[in-house]
Amino acid sequence: MAGGGAGPAVTVCTDAAEFAALREEWNRLHRSSPTATPFQSHAWLHSWWLSYGDAGALRVVLVRRGGRLVAAAPLMRRMRPFPVLTPLGAGISDFGDVLVDEEAGEYAVEALGAGLWRLAGSAVVDLREVRPGSAAMTLHDNWPGLRRRFDDSACLELPALPMDDLVQRLPRPRAQRARAKMRKLDATGIERRVVPAAEVDASVRRLLDLHQLQWQERKVTTEHVKPRFAEHLSRSAALMAATGDAVVTEFSLDGSVVAADLTFVSPRLAGGYLYGAHPQLRERKIDVATMLLRSCTQHLQEGARSQVLSLLRGTEPYKMHWRPEQLVNQRLLLARPGSAPQLAALLAAIGARSGAKRARQVWRERRGGPA
């Protein structure tokens, strides 16, 4: 499918090899999209497709003007049990979005919407984990058909400040405890090393081994211990480190790596995606969360230019200690009138899951357990 005349040309990429070949121009578009996060990089999305994609399901909407790629919506088609278009990277990406070149302006959003409108003739567009202020929000606001918007995951953010400044934002007793934890880290002699891009693949696999070790005999995110996740993360992180979209850091004690962290970096935000830490750190009462946060602030000082320091999805208590701002990602549903029955079925499923989640929360609160 394509536009005619001198206006933008809209096509849909359904071929995995063609998607792979888009890397260079996708990277340029990613750099030119002010709302993009590392989860919209070509390395992350293409690697995710190799590990998680279904044959024949790829649907990447591309907008070009004068041969230049100015907008893209990375999607795939799923049947559950009716057709739905969902973002590439779904499930393990903290933020979803479309890409729009800042210089292209409204016409690129318009053309992207037109491409999605054609695809929506037989499927509901279901955009998950859309960060407030993202290009996908503009797409939703301008959608001429049926649309719905729901809260998705809560995320926490801190200002992109040096560690000492973050500590100064805390109440005095909490700031004193944070400084004591950092003094203990320094006294322990833990050494921090940023891993060169050529070593990232092996380092990420070491990170995953440590991650599994730290969660032994405790509940771990099931996906994080699967081979497909390991393949995706090591493959994508190596490519993202080469382009500056990711940094892997190792922490050594007495000559052995005892922790490793994968941090994603973009002009919009920087944030630690996943880490692994040997249980001996917990046994020695080393505050790993403080160590990792300080390391992330060092990345910002060492060259990463990011607007905010994101703690990504989740409102765990250890994150709340730092007095972050809470943002709530959005779930955007877009449909045409002809797909109203599919939209109604999807809304019913969302309502049922939401009701079940509230019921579980009430049950846990009555039992005195964690919400």
Picking from 115, 95, 124, 118, the residue whose alpha carbon sits closest to that of residue 33 is 95
Q: In percent, how much of the chain has pLDDT > 70?
A: 94
Q: Kindly state the tokens that stand for 303.
A: 């060259």
Q: What is the pLDDT of residues 12-43, one digit of tens each?
A: 999 999 999 999 999 999 999 999 999 999 99
Q: What is the pLDDT of residues 270-297, one digit of tens each?
A: 999 999 999 999 889 999 999 999 999 9
Q: Kindly state the tokens that stand for 125.
A: 């567009």
Q: In percent, how much of the chain has pLDDT > 90?
A: 82
- CA distances from residue 94 to 38, 51, 274 in whole angstroms, order as listed: 10, 17, 11
Q: What is the largest CA-CA distance in the chain?
A: 68
Q: What is the pLDDT of residues 260-275, one digit of tens each?
A: 999 999 998 999 999 9
Amino acid, single-letter form, for residue 256: S
What does pLDDT average to over the chain?
A: 92
Q: Kindly state the tokens that stand for 311.
A: 């703690």
pLDDT above 70 for 256: yes
Amino acid, single-letter form, for residue 188: T
Neighbours of 351 (CB within 10 A): 11
Compute the distance between CA of residue 332 and CA of residue 315 in angstroms, rounded to an integer.
22
Peptide bond into 267 cis (omega under 30): no
- Band of residue 370 on the pLDDT scale cut at 50, 70, 90: low
Whether the Cβ atoms of residue 69 and residue 62 lie closer than 8 Å to each other:
yes
Mean pLDDT of 147-166: 96
pLDDT above 60 for 343: yes
Strand-pair partners of 194: 249
pLDDT above 70 for 356: no
- Band of residue 365 on the pLDDT scale cut at 50, 70, 90: low
The predicted pLDDT at position 355 comes to 67
The pTM (predicted TM-score) of the whole model is 0.92
Whether the Cβ atoms of residue 108 and residue 69 lie closer than 8 Å to each other:
no
